[in-house]
Amino acid sequence: MNSTWRWISKPALMMLHDESLAEHGGAEGVRDDGLLDSALARPLNIVAYSDAAEPPDVATLAASYGVGLAKNHAFEDGNKRAAFLAVGLFLALNGWRLQCTQADATLTLLAVASGEVSEDDFANWLRAHTTSRM
């Protein structure tokens, strides 16, 4: 287990979501606080219950944030945007950078949200589209 993971706080995600709504529009507010908490807890649970011999990597955990937020629909609006922002923030907090076009990221996240792309496939996509900032 990487004991140095830097996690996304709820206030940080709420701030990013609010900024996204201010820039791109949409209904404000949280639709279901429990679903938001659940989405934010998913990667922590993966780490807590993973095999110590094969701990999850940054892509697995970022994908968990993305899938949880895109599918839980915790916000009134902007769930896919929040998912994308969370993926990027988690990668950045942990020394990684997403390397893709905005169009590729948008299409991929739409496919994740619709269930066309699984969480494992999303993690693989992230592995192919991230670079270390260190």
Residue 108's pLDDT is 96
Asked, for residue 4, whether it belongs to a domain, the answer is no
Residue 105's pLDDT is 94
Asked, for residue 3, whether it belongs to a domain, the answer is no
Residue 3's pLDDT is 62
Asked, for residue 16, whether it belongs to a domain, the answer is yes
Residue 52's pLDDT is 84
Q: How many domains are there within the chain?
A: 1
Q: What is the 3-state secondary structure (H, E, C) of the chain?
A: CCCCCCCCCHHHHHHHHHHHHHHHCCCCCECCHHHHHHHHHHHHHHHHCCCCCCCCCHHHHHHHHHHHHHHHCCECCCHHHHHHHHHHHHHHHCCEEECCCHHHHHHHHHHHHHCCCCHHHHHHHHHHCEEECC
Asked, for residue 57, whether it belongs to a domain, the answer is yes
Residue 2's pLDDT is 52
**Per-residue pLDDT tens digits for 66-77:** 999 999 999 998
Tell me the sheet residues that pair with 131.
Answer: 97
Q: Which residues of the chain have pLDDT under 50?
A: 1
Segments forming the whole domain that contains residue 76: 10-132
CATH of the domain at 56: 1.20.120.1870
